[in-house]
């Protein structure tokens, strides 16, 4: 049974929602994070071990903590497509070498289950309207390549050492905890929905749409947005699944609907009643035109049932969080959160 889980990257956006989700189900999360992009103030469910995956001794100390971990959930990564094109060594070092260190530490300490954060970026240009698990994997940026290399390591480790794993390929993670507790707080923020919401609030740096000449209906890129709490749900289901399914598995997670950048802006305007100023800018390197998931396998095999199926309900949760973030610090910040 699952009592205690090491959540690597638990101070980040998706990882922090995972810790809240686990705690609500009486499973203890322990967060391991180097706080390079995560925030101490997001670690509110479970202890924080401040450590880097590249530091094997620190990993040994973390795994020596008692009682032992029943499994690992691994959200640590450099995760920006554009940045990965500019700085590929950072991506291979952190995402590939870092994960290898983690897997070796798990082996030294007898932990044999891991849920891995993978990505739609492992696929490259879609050859079908919806991308299923069997779609060819041909990443067009170092970020996607680094994640695919880890999927391969997990498959090899299943064969050689009996490691059990599920790779979850997120399409576009979005939204926030519906009570407005935690949300997406990247700095600088590069993701679409937070930037659109900041533009609606007048707090952003000026919204740019990267390309209006893509081969899509309105010329802007199409993505499949999926709520963070639905991703958290899939992680817990993945751990259940491993109990009866040894080996390495992978599932695509999305809602199966594509929304263009322009449509996302219009949805935010409709939902908030505010206008969203933007300008068109050149394409961003590494971006594919369209990424939409088929998640039939996750629903059949894992029993995954997303709660937030449409873009509006996802935006609504994110809007609540962004409004709160933009409010004066005294009314929104819990005590002791001044530094991050």
Residues annotated as part of the active site: 143
Q: What's the distance, CA 172 to chain centroid?
A: 8
Can residue 118 be called a binding residue for ligand UDP (CB under 6 A)? no
Sheet harboring 222-223: ordered strands across? Answer: 259-260, 222-223, 290-291
**Piece of 189-197, 302-310, 314-322, 328-336 that binds ligand UDP (CB under 6 A):** 189-197
Can residue 252 be called a binding residue for ligand UDP (CB under 6 A)? no
Reduced DSSP (H G I as helix, E B as strand, rest coil) percent helix, strand, coil of the chain, to 5: 40, 20, 40
Q: Is 8 helix (H, G, I), strand (E, B) or coil?
A: strand
Nearest residue (beta carbon) to ligand UDP: 221
Task: By CB under 6 A, name the one of 261, 276, 302, 311 that touches ligand UDP.
Answer: 261
CB of 339 to ligand UDP, least distance (A): 27
Task: By CB under 6 A, name the one of 81, 153, 268, 315 that touches ligand UDP.
Answer: 81
Count of residues for the chain? 340
Task: By CB under 6 A, name the one of 41, 191, 309, 324 that touches ligand UDP.
Answer: 191
Pairing of strands 222-223, 172-174: unpaired
Q: What's the distance, CA 114 to chain centroid?
A: 15
Task: Give the nearer residue to ligand UDP in terms of CB position, either 42 or 262.
Answer: 262
Residues numbered 169-188 forming contacts with ligand UDP, rule: CB under 6 A: 172
Binding mask 204-243 for ligand UDP (x = CB under 6 A): ---xxxx----------x-x--------------------
CB of 50 to ligand UDP, least distance (A): 27
- State the greatest distance between any 2 C-alpha atoms of the chain, in Å, as a whole number: 56
| Enclosing H/E stretch for 231 | helix 228-244
| DSSP states along 127-173 | SSSSB-TTS----SSHHHHHHHHHHHHHHHHHHHH--EEEEEEESEE
Can residue 92 be called a binding residue for ligand UDP (CB under 6 A)? no
Task: Give the nearer residue to ligand UDP in terms of CB position, either 67 or 215.
Answer: 215
List residues binding ligand UDP (CB under 6 A). Answer: 81, 172, 190-192, 195, 207-210, 221, 223, 261, 284, 287
């Amino acid at each position: 049974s699952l009592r205690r889980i090491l959540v690597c990257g638990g101070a980040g956006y998706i990882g922090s929602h995972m810790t809240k989700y686990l705690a609500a189900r009486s499973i203890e999360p322990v967060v391991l994070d180097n706080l390079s992009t995560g925030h101490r103030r997001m670690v509110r469910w479970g202890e924080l071990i401040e450590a880097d995956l590249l530091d094997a001794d620190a990993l040994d100390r973390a795994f020596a903590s008692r009682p032992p971990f029943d499994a690992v959930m691994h959200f640590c990564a450099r995760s920006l497509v554009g940045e990965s094109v500019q700085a590929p060594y950072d991506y291979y070092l952190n995402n590939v070498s870092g994960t290898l260190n983690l897997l070796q530490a798990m082996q030294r300490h007898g932990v044999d289950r891991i849920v891995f954060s993978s990505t739609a970026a492992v696929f490259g240009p879609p050859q079908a309207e919806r991308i299923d698990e069997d779609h060819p994997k041909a990443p067009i940026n170092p970020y996607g390549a680094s994640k695919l290399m880890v999927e391969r390591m997990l498959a090899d480790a299943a064969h050689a050492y009996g490691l059990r794993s599920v790779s979850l390929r997120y399409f576009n993670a979005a939204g926030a905890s519906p009570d407005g507790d935690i949300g997406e707080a990247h700095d600088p923020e590069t993701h679409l929905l937070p930037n659109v919401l900041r533009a609606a609030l007048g707090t952003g740096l000026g919204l740019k749409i990267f390309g209006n000449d893509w081969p899509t209906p309105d010329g802007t890129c199409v993505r499949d947005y999926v709520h963070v709490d639905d991703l958290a749900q899939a992680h817990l289901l993945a751990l259940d699944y491993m109990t009866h399914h040894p080996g390495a598995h992978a599932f695509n997670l999305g809602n199966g609907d594509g929304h263009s950048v322009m449509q996302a802006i219009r949805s935010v305007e409709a939902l908030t009643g505010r206008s969203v100023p933007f300008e068109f800018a050149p394409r961003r390197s590494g971006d594919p035109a369209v990424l939409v998931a088929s998640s039939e396998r996750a629903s059949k095999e894992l029993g995954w049932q997303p709660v937030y199926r449409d873009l509006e309900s996802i935006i609504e949760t994110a809007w609540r969080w962004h409004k709160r973030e933009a409010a004066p610090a005294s009314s929104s910040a819990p005590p002791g959160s001044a530094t991050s």
